[in-house]
A and B are shown apart, each in its own frame.
Chain A
Amino acid sequence: MIATLATVAGIGLILAGVAFALIGSIGVLRLPDFYTRMHAASKLDTMSLGLCMTGLAILQGPDLNAVKLILIFLFASIANPAAANALGRSAIRAGLEPWSVARQKKGKRS
């Protein structure tokens, strides 16, 4: 009973994480600007990795590998937003202007 419940919970968490990854990839393709694409990429990727790692840790059961999976999740939840912040700040300093409706009507690509 407990094993079946853990399997169902783990598979459900992994499915939710892969759904987040797919939505994030579609956002990376479809959004109009570097900053909006970065918004989609960093947050949805961190969420997807967290859900998948938690699901795998539940499927794995309590041992060292589950601890390592949770450690990957903790590391990524710190490192992924930090990398996104560094890249966005360097884009601002390099002079990349954000998207707006007025700029799009003037025909400028951002």
Chain B
Amino acid sequence: MNVAIFLVSLVLVVALLLPFYRLVIGPTVFDRMMGVGVIGTKTVVLVCLVGFAYGRIDMFIDIAISYAMLNYIGTVVVAKYLDHPGARER
């Protein structure tokens, strides 16, 4: 079963590397922030899968919880920071 979890994690890594295009050459700053959010959400899933495959999910799951909260707070803070006319030109 661990081999199956590792193969699924490999497919998830491919799905995680695709939004780096949007993160590096996104046309606006909002596209970049959306790329950060997508990569963060997929990283939470990846951390849980890897923790389950190594049999230490009790340690990895706390990292996943804190990463999910940090991702949400960071996205909301940057969205509030860019919440004015003229933020598109950045």
**A106 interfacial by beta-carbon distance below 8 Å:** no
Main DSSP-derived SS at the B contact region? helix
B-contacting residues of A (Cβ < 8 Å)? 7, 11, 14-15, 17-18, 21-22, 24-26, 28-29, 34, 37-38, 41-42, 45-46, 48-49, 52-53, 56, 59-60, 64-65, 68-69, 71-72, 75-76, 79-80, 82-84, 86-87, 89-91, 93-96, 109
Besides A80-B37, A94-B88, 18 other A-B contacts (C-beta < 8 A)? A29-B22, A37-B31, A49-B45, A52-B45, A68-B61, A72-B64, A75-B72, A76-B44, A83-B75, A87-B30, A90-B79, A93-B84, A93-B85, A94-B85, A94-B86, A94-B87, A95-B86, A95-B88
A-contacting residues of B (Cβ < 8 Å)? 1, 4-5, 8, 11-12, 14-16, 18-19, 21-22, 27-28, 30-31, 33-35, 37-38, 41-42, 44-45, 48-49, 52, 57-58, 61-62, 64-65, 68-69, 71-72, 75-76, 78-80, 82-88
